[in-house]
Chains A and B, each alone.
Chain A
């Protein structure tokens, strides 16, 4: 009996799946915006959360005014499955635009998948506001063929080459504070600890060249543990033996947890700054059982830090709703507001008119003041980086709280650049104890 019933059930469920997508309600004045991302991961989840927050706020306030007529926003969620399959991501994008009728798209994360997603959006002449992939080359497409790739803009994050700049400035700040606070003489010494990943290779090379050249510090060695390593005893002992004052990290994988825990447990007399994605997460303190104290990492948002006049309210609302601190992927919030801004200012939904408006926009979002790079630059439509624009943050764990510590104490064009809520970077107790002992 079961042998006959199961195939029938399967066929019936397939028929239902065929019919369901065709069912739809009546449509009024609606602007359809697709939100695409890896929805099974935190990145896609935050794409959706950010966009939902913006859409609900806008709809509650009456919607978008298009030349005197009010439109409400309808979000369409698309799971790109882009971590696993770029093929799937491209199909999801095409369905979003051609079948579900998205007039604009926000989101995207993994570069290898975002490339084909951009191709689909460009084929369909649909504005695609990127909120995840940081690769510089995505914005270089328009240099060779502007007419085809003019529909692509990157709202967040700033491109990956700028991560090196921010890391170096944070390192410089920490080094200066340590020299002054501990009375250290001579050049500061730095150990580079980077996970074994292709994205880190270029950064390692840049650090090896720029740390001595720009900061006058000495690189004592480079260690490359696996991104999933669970024991860094050997690396940390070797770093301690090298006499490094600072460890410059490039860690995105789960290795960030055992690294920070063992750094504290073994009382390695080095301060740690750089990129440690695990330290950006709310659960980092518990995961390291408090040994991750003083871990410093580049970040996007921090509680109570006003990157712009809208940041604090955005983070509080996000935390209230979702009980999480937003990641940069929640920049879809700003992307939706950008669309509202240009649609209302032009009074039209004509794509070319909106592109011109986006190219000229100067908008203060929750994450940064957003101005797109000009068409005469090497990265057209990329979000502008630097003081007064998108800068990012560095955060440090200080006694169980994630505090913003950079931008602060900058030099050159960064002199005086900081935000309300940024506190002073702290030298770890173990480092103070080591250098002040008799």
Chain B
């Protein structure tokens, strides 16, 4: 049994450079606090905690918009709904974060299903515009019921997740890894466990053909919105407790567009793309604090330059450099191999003399 697991691990992880890098990355995440000691350590851990939350948020957008093709320009809605729900439950009912965060995520699911109703009838730019409107509507509600929502000041004074920055960090890493793994599995078209991945692909590529093949696309679109709402909700609820405040900024358009930038920069429709995108761009903005006057300009310049030369996203660009898919069995191989590790098919066409 153990030998078989080890063999699978060797074949499915160690033999594929992209997965090997992901494994190394996750392992490094667990050791980061050891290198971040002293007073400045708490600042760097804060950046990593934010990055972990935004990774979940961005991956959830990739699942919905990248894999299923449901272009969502108002993803902050799920984030904000969960943040406000968790804040209200914590502040008024004195419920603890371990309970309010999952309930916040459930509120994200409900928000996802509500947004999905028009999405069942709309596509492309029309859907994008409708999704854009939802967080604006909620913002209007926030400002209309200020006694309940705190208006532009938000709801502050929430309980902390823990009293230690290191504990907060490890919780965020664990939640991030579990969330990303679940979403990766849900979108894996080759998965033998769930068939959602291949259906999501089918809906994005040709919804009518998918329906003609007997797939209940409505059910899967509802599922995609619910799952995306759930994970974006986890990020929003976690963020509210970590910041100890939920406010209108959790619903603002800036956040909805940020998530798109992170995902497209890393590589859309890849799951690991948004992880890489967030982990590069979010700390980059922190590094750019040394030049505050031109911070946004440099950031925009880097994003534009990278997209110009790596339009598929930086993570996908790197993967294509280090991996090679077998043209026959579609198995991933290390780029330096000449033949497929499984079927021995040549990976590169011979140059014609």
Contacts and interface: CB of A to CB of B under 8 A. Distances in A.
Interface of A: 2-3, 6-7, 10, 13-14, 17-18, 20-21, 39, 77-79, 84-88, 90-92, 94-95, 97-99, 111-113, 115-116, 119, 123-124, 135, 137, 141, 198-199, 201
B247 interface: yes
Contacts of B286: 91, 95
A98 B151 contact: no
A141 B156 CA distance: 10
Contact of B152 (A7, A17, A111, A123): A111
A112 B146 contact: no
A13 B40 CA distance: 23
Interface pairs A-B: 10 shortest CB-CB: A79-B292, A17-B287, A112-B247, A98-B43, A94-B43, A198-B151, A99-B40, A98-B39, A115-B156, A98-B40
A39 B292 contact: yes
A97 B43 CA distance: 9
B243 A85 contact: no
Contact of B287 (A18, A113, A201): A18
B212 interface: no
Interface stretch (B180-188, B303-311, B332-340): B303-311
A215 B230 CA distance: 54
Contacts of A21: 287, 290
B319 interface: no
B122 interface: no
A219 B298 CA distance: 52
Interface residues of B, number: 42
A10 B154 contact: no
Interface of B: 39-43, 46-47, 50, 143, 146, 151-154, 156-157, 239, 243-245, 247-249, 252, 254, 284-290, 292-293, 295, 298, 302, 305-306, 308-310
Contact of A7 (B156, B157, B245, B309): B309
Which DSSP category, helix, strand, loop or mixed, fits chain B's interface? helix
Contacts of B288: 17
Contact of B153 (A99, A111, A141): A111
Contacts of B249: 84-87, 112-113
A123 B295 CA distance: 27
A6 B309 contact: yes
A10 B302 contact: yes
A112 B152 contact: yes
B243 A87 contact: yes
Contacts of B153: 111-112, 115, 135, 137
A199 B152 contact: yes
A78 B157 CA distance: 24
A80 to B, nearest CB: 10
Contacts of A14: 284, 287
Contacts of A99: 40, 43
B295 A79 contact: yes
B152 A6 contact: no
B243 A86 contact: yes
A250 to B, nearest CB: 15
Contacts of A6: 305-306, 308-309
A94 B156 contact: no
B192 to A, nearest CB: 37
A94 B152 contact: no
Interface centre among B156, B239, B247, B309 (most CB of A within 10 A): B156
6 contacts: A6-B308, A17-B287, A17-B290, A86-B243, A87-B239, A115-B156
A230 B245 CA distance: 35
Contacts of B295: 79
Contacts of A141: 157
A116 B43 contact: no
A13 B293 CA distance: 17
B245 A115 contact: yes
A199 B152 CA distance: 8
Nearest to B308: A6
B50 A91 contact: yes
B114 to A, nearest CB: 24
A39 B309 CA distance: 32
B318 to A, nearest CB: 10
A6 B314 CA distance: 13
A375 B249 CA distance: 32
Contacts of B298: 13
A380 to B, nearest CB: 16
A198 B243 contact: no
Given A10-B302, A85-B249, A87-B243, A198 B146 contact: yes
Contacts of A2: 309
A84 B292 contact: no
A201 B295 CA distance: 36
A86 B146 CA distance: 19
A369 B68 CA distance: 62
Contacts of B146: 198, 201
B297 to A, nearest CB: 11
Given A18-B287, A39-B292, A95 B245 contact: no
Contact of A116 (B244, B290, B306): B244
Contacts of A135: 153
Contact of A98 (B42, B156, B252): B42
A79 B291 CA distance: 10
A92 B152 contact: no
B42 A94 contact: yes
A3 B309 contact: yes
A198 B254 contact: no
A357 to B, nearest CB: 25
B290 A112 contact: no
Contacts of A119: 243-245
Contacts of A198: 143, 146, 151-152
A77 B292 CA distance: 9
Contacts of A7: 306, 309-310
Nearest to B288: A17
A3 B306 CA distance: 10
A379 to B, nearest CB: 15
Given A17-B288, A77-B292, A115-B154, A86 B247 contact: yes
